[in-house]
Amino acid sequence: MEIWPGKPYPLGATYDGSGTNFALFSANAEKVELCLVEDDGRETERFSLDEVDAHVWHGYIPNLRPGQHYGYRVHGPYDPTKGQRFNPSKLLLDPYAKAIAGDLDGDMSIFAYPAGDPHGYSDADSAAHTMHSVVINPFFDWGNDRHPRLDYPDLVIYETHVKGMTMLNPAIPEALRGTYAGMGHPNNVSYLKHLGVNAVELMPVHQFVTDPSLEEKGLKNYWGYNTIGYFAPHNGYCSDRRGDRQVEEFKQMVKDLHSAGIEVILDVVYNHTAEGNQMGPTLSFRGLDNEVYYRLVEGDREHYFDTTGTGNSLLMRSPAVLQLIMDSLRYWITEMHVDGFRFDLASTLARELSSVDKLSAFFDIIHQDPIISQVKLIAEPWDVGEGGYNVGGFPILWSEWNGKYRDTVRDYWRGEPAKLGEFASRFSGSADLYAHTGRLPVASINFVTAHDGFTLLDLVSYNDKHNEANGEGGVDGDSNNKSWNHGEEGPSSDESINELRRRQRFNFLTTLLLSQGVPMISHGDELGRTQGGNNNGYCQDNEITWIHWNEDARDQKMYGFTRALIHLRNEHPVFRRRRFLAGDAARGGESDRGDIEWFSVNGEHMTDEEWTTAYAKALTISLNGASIDEPGKRGEHVEDDDFILMFNASEKDLEFTMPQWTHDLQWYRVIDTTAAQPIETDFVRAELLGSPETVTVRSRSIVVLASPLADRSL
- Active site positions, annotated: 344, 380
Q: Which residues have a Cβ under 8 Å from the Cβ of 340 and sit 6 or more positions away?
A: 199, 263, 265, 266, 375, 376, 377, 378
Q: Which residues pair with 22 in a beta bridge?
A: 13, 59
3-class DSSP assignment, residue 495: helix
Nearest to 15 by CA among 120, 84, 99, 106: 99
Nearest to 315 by CA among 282, 307, 299: 307
- What's the one-letter identity of residue 209? V
Residue 293: φ, ψ to 5°: -90, -30
Burial class, 406, CB count within 10 angstroms (exposed 0-12 / middle 13-18 / buried 19+): buried
Burial class, 116, CB count within 10 angstroms (exposed 0-12 / middle 13-18 / buried 19+): exposed
Could you tell me the sign of the dihedral formed by the alpha carbons of 607, 612, 615, 619, in that order? Answer: positive
Residue 615 to residues 131, 463, 603: CA-CA distances in angstroms?
58, 22, 18
Strands, sheet with 51-53, edge to edge from the N-terminal-most edge strand: 12-15, 19-25, 56-62, 51-53
3-class DSSP assignment, residue 222: coil
3-class DSSP assignment, residue 36: strand
3-class DSSP assignment, residue 505: helix
Angle at which helices 495-514 and 556-571 pack, to 10 degrees? Answer: 20
- What's the one-letter identity of residue 207? Q
